[in-house]
Amino acid sequence: MPQRVLPRHLGIIMDGNGRWAKKRGLPRSAGHVAGAKVFKTIVRYCSRIGIEYLTVYAFSTENWKRPQEEVSSLMSLFKTYLRDALDNFLSENVKVRFLGDTSVFDPQLRELIQKVTEVSANRTGMVLNIALNYGGRAEIARAVQLLAKDVQNGLLKPEEITEELISSKLYTAGQPDPDLIIRPSGENRISNFLLWQSAYSEYLVMDILWPDFTTKDLEYAFDVYASRNRRFGGV
């Protein structure tokens, strides 16, 4: 049987934790805990089947608007996950990167982010990008600021700014654009996720809440992806 085409770079908008919890009469934070378990399973699975880049949307620049209690519970969950990654994830050959402005987090979380980045920096397996305090627009604005500084310092002429140069100033610099973006929970929105990078990504909305998502659902998404005919604007 011919080898199925897998996406090199997969993006996931992990959505539906709140609704999953509500359906069960649980607090929203319980949905995030269940979502974090699924996240771990999916990371391991992707790494084992040979996905090269996995980008997950964990906390957006807009998520600060949520009730304080929910934001705190998410922050604790990120800390728990990162501690766990330091203790138990050492055998996984996964390189962890963070996309977004992480300078605003509390010192404990910032330190964990730094440690996990450092400890995994030389790993050669899958790159796991965790988007934390990430927004596609904020990312593009930041890239424009970096380029404007280069122009100001005489290092660059405005007409030398190309698409490639803009890409090189994004958090995902040096990585291929996502081939497939999955959004569970049935919402048909991009929600400020990888705006620049997703210009030609295949997009798949799935009618399942993230805490219910399994490797079977992921396999289904890969089958859909393999059956699509990507034309990148050509014929």
Interface residue list for ligand FPP (CB under 6 A): 14-19, 32, 35-36, 39, 58, 63, 77-78, 81, 130, 185
| 30: nearest Cα among 80, 84, 74 | 74
Cβ-Cβ contacts under 8 Å for 69 (sequence gap 6 or more): 29
Min CB(14)–ligand FPP separation in Å: 4
Side chain identity at residue 233, one-letter code: G
Residue nearest to ligand FPP (CB): 18
Three-state SS for 61?
coil
Of the residues 17, 63, 133, 207, which is catalytic?
63
Q: Is 15 a catalytic residue?
A: yes
Residue whose CB is less far from ligand FPP, 153 or 188:
188
- Residue with Cβ nearer ligand FPP (33 or 226): 33
Minimal distance, residue 229 CB to ligand FPP, in Å? 31
Q: Distance between CA 131 and CA 13 in Å, rounded?
A: 10
| 178 versus 184: smaller Cβ distance to ligand FPP | 184
φ/ψ of 90, rounded to 5, equals: -65, -30
- Residue with tokens 């009618």, as numbered in its chain: 207
Which residues are designated catalytic? Answer: 15, 63
